[in-house]
Structure 1
Amino acid sequence: MATMVAGSNAALTAENPGLGGVMVAMGWQIVPSNGPQSELTSLAIVCGEDGRALSPEHLVFFNQLTTAGGGVRFTGGEEGAPGATHDQEQIDVEFGLIPAEVAKIAFLAYVDPEVRGPGTFGAVRSAYIRLARPDGSELLRFDVPELHGDRIKAMMFGELYRHRDDWKFRALGQGYENGLAGVSRDFGLDL
């Protein structure tokens, strides 16, 4: 297993021949408070060469569980399951089902203002994204730095992207102070 830092890249399929897909898991802890607590929601955005979502149907989250063709599939979290790593959210990616026009898949989490009111990443600790083989063995992990969380309302944890005929992963930890509005603008979505 490799531990990554922000901005680093890791080869997946080139260094793991026969790897047909990965489980992308995201996790975090929320510091309890007496007032409203931040509630995070994760999502994956499937993008073309221009870095923007191919269409609104290329957004995967709890209310839209899969892309057409099933290449990217939201599976929820496994917290509390036997042997679980306490991931909050899991998204399965099957490389063979990803259309050729897909250049990258971005993995984000945002503070959902509709669940418990407005909030920030200020109460979020130990956020991470990890990639594992279908058998559950971990390939890599990125622990997201806790920087200016009191101003951040959405966070891009990382992205899978094509490099020639292979898939790679880039660790990012890019925060959005403007939350879903910034994500919508960057990815060409109406969120």
Structure 2
Amino acid sequence: MASMVAGSNAPLTAENPGLPGVIIAMGWSAVPSNGPQSELTSMAIVCGADGRALSPEHLVFFNQLTTAGGGVRFAGGEARDAEQVDVEFARVPADVAKISFLAYVDPELRGPGTFAAVRSAYIRVARPDGSELLRFDVPEMHGDRIKAMMFGELYRHRDDWKFRALGQGYENGLVGVAQDFGLDL
């Protein structure tokens, strides 16, 4: 397993010939609170070469579990991860240039909130059997203004897939995500 830093990238299929796909797992912990607790929700956005979502149907989250064709599927979480998304490379259409993985504070669950109480956030890339290939521990930042966070992205590089660690926060939450990805959220 390789540990990554923000801005770094790593080859996946070039160094793992025959890799059919990956599990993208995200996790975090939150400092307990006596008041309202921010609730994080994850999503994957499937994008074209312009970096924008191909369509509203190319958003994968708890309310839209898969893309057309099933190449990107929301898989929920398991004991060690809060959320998981399965990506099957052969089923991802050729017009997909990248898949971005984010989490946001869901204001509909517990009211407005931020990443202030979020600790130990990470994204990991694993083989379909669960064995870990890469891990990026998102650096802790002053999250009292951050309402959404892009953890990382899978992207095509020629005929191969790579992963980039990001850790980019959005103070304007889903509004900023929607603007950057051309979505109406």
TM-score range, shorter chain: over 0.9
Cα deviation for residue 147 of structure 1 reads 1.1
AA matched with 1:19 = L
| Count of aligned pairs | 185
Q: In structure 2, what is the equivalent of residue 117 of structure 1? A: 111
Q: In structure 1, what is the equivalent of residue 70 of structure 2? A: 70
CA RMSD of aligned residues (A): 0.4
Q: Distance in 1 between matches of 2:184 and 2:155?
A: 23
Structure 2 length normalisation: TM-score? 0.99
1:107 paired to 2:101: yes
% same residue: 86
AA matched with 1:181 = V
Q: In structure 2, what is the equivalent of residue 139 of structure 1? A: 133
Q: Secondary structure at the match of 1:122?
A: coil
After TM superposition, the runs of 4+ consecutive aligned structure 1 residues lying more than 2 A away are none
Counterpart among 128, 146, 149 of residue 152 in structure 1: 146
Q: In structure 2, what is the equivalent of residue 23 of structure 1? A: 23
Counterpart among 122, 135, 143 of residue 128 in structure 1: 122
1:177 paired to 2:171: yes
Cα deviation for residue 48 of structure 1 reads 0.2
Q: Secondary structure at the match of 1:183?
A: helix
Q: Secondary structure at the match of 1:173?
A: strand
Q: Secondary structure at the match of 1:180?
A: helix
1:45 paired to 2:45: yes
Unaligned 5+ residue runs, structure 1? Answer: 80-85
| Cα deviation 1:99-123 (Å, max 9, x = unaligned) | 0000000000000000001000000
